[in-house]
């Protein structure tokens, strides 16, 4: 695993407790050409706000903390 993937995983692990408080979770799937692919779990799967949470929360933080990240997509 290269450094950028490790950095992405570290950031996601910092965010997970906030999602877990509401019964959800997120896991890293892969990183390709600037895009981080994640899987949402638990209560996040059916949540009407998950797209906003991904774009306005997870994506924003990852883009700020990990150079090279341009987008986050839930799969």
Residue 2: burial class (beta carbons within 10 Å; 0-12, 13-18, 19+): exposed
**Could you give all domains of the chain from N- to C-terminal order, each with its CATH number?**
3-74 (3.30.300.130)
Is 0.85 surpassed by the pTM of this model?
yes
Task: Print pLDDT tens along the chain (75 aa).
Answer: 699 999 999 999 999 998 899 888 999 999 999 999 999 888 777 777 677 778 888 999 999 999 999 999 998
Cα gap 45→1, rounded to integer Å: 28
């Amino acid at each position: 695993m290269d450094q950028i993937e490790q950095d992405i995983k570290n950031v996601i692990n910092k965010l997970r407790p906030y999602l877990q408080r509401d019964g959800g979770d997120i896991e890293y799937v892969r990183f390709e050409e600037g895009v981080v692919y994640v899987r949402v779990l638990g209560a996040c799967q059916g949540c009407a706000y998950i797209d906003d949470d991904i774009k306005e929360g997870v994506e924003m933080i990852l883009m700020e903390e990990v150079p090279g990240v341009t987008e986050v997509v839930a799969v």
